[in-house]
Amino acid sequence: MSTTLVVLAAGMGSRYGGLKQIDPIGPNGEVILELSVYDAIQAGFDKVVFIIKKSIEKEFKEAIGDKLSKQVQVEYVFQDFANVPEGFTIPEGREKPLGTAHALYCCKDVLDGPFAVINSDDYYGQSCFKTLYEFLNNQAKETHYAMVGYVLANTLTDHGSVARGVCVAKDGYLTNVVENTKIEKRDGKVMTFMDEKWHEIDANSLVSMNMWAFTPTIIDEITRKFVEFQEVLKENPLKGEFYIPNVVGELLRENKCDVKMLESHDKWYGVTYQEDKDSVKAGIASLYEKGCYPQPLWK
């Protein structure tokens, strides 16, 4: 059975202003996603599923997909409104994708064993892929999942707000995760906007960067949760989203799963806004200089 990496690459990139999934970041024109796939292959992963929008298929394949298909087994899944559970109604006028939980639902026909999930536009570091590979092949089963947590302060940008799933852990296991859709640095503090006002949040909180280890049972749970999401969507029909951390948080509160907290001490880099690009490029270049990656990356 393959050890699969699922890559969330269907986001519209509205804050960034473009298709950041295929924006060159590395010293030789590599995109962040290439480094993640390289790290995953080195750790032992042998299959990658890209979740994209059908409208960017040609551009995505030309920029990166065709190149990576020479290194590892590649499959594509399209996140679109045609792929929803029976009975779910798309709000009139909706254009924005339905969120990361919906993206995973769209993978229901290509996942037959434990798998990891990552964002396409986050650089996670190298050791975490080895940790995920070990978990998937030796520990993952039924509703026993895992998540790699990062320190909130290390995942912020100086150029605006970010969305993060804030986590609570006990005895090495996740006990709750709440999606905060607007966290940013304000007046020297880390603040989150919830309940129509700003609140200070602990900068050392562990957050989800959508780096998960699941089994296919999560797809069944997402399908079930779509009914509840339909009700939530009535409050914000054009922009409300169905997030993986929300689903996991609800399952934890229902005692329907457990999630092992895995730690990564690697440096995280992410490009949320165009203004983030220069600092991320400098950080990635330093990794090449230290010999973390070969040049060229692919032989």
Listed range (19-23, 65-69, 222-226) with the worst mean pLDDT: 19-23
Domain parsing of the chain, residue ranges: 4-149+208-289
Q: Is 184:298 a contact under the CB 8 Å cutoff?
A: no
56 φ, ψ (degrees, to nearest 5):
-110, 10
Question: Please, which residues have CB within 8 angstroms of residue 112's CB and are 6 or more apart in sequence?
Answer: 1, 216
Residue 184: strand, helix, or coil: strand
H or E element, residue 39: helix 32-43
* pTM score: 0.88
* pLDDT (mean) for 133-161: 93
Q: Which helix (H) or strand (E) holds 147?
A: strand 144-151
> Lowest mean pLDDT: which of 1-15, 56-70, 179-193, 257-271?
1-15
Question: Do 160 and 154 meet the contact criterion of CB atoms below 8 Å apart?
Answer: no
pLDDT at residue 59, rounded to an integer: 85
Per residue in 59-81, pLDDT (tens digit) is 888 888 899 999 999 999 999 99
Please enumerate in sequence order all residues whose Cβ is within 8 A of that of 141, keeping only pairs 6 or more positions apart, or say none.
114, 215
DSSP H or E segment with residue 261: strand 258-263
**Confidence tier at 15 by pLDDT (50, 70, 90):** very low
pLDDT in tens, 128-142: 999 999 999 999 999
Res 20: pLDDT: 57
Residue 21 has a pLDDT of 57
Say if residue 16's pLDDT is above 80.
Answer: no
Q: What CATH class has 4-149+208-289? A: alpha beta
Band (266; pLDDT cuts 50, 70, 90): confident
Task: Enumerate helices (H) and strands (E) in the chain, giving the number of each.
Answer: 8, 13
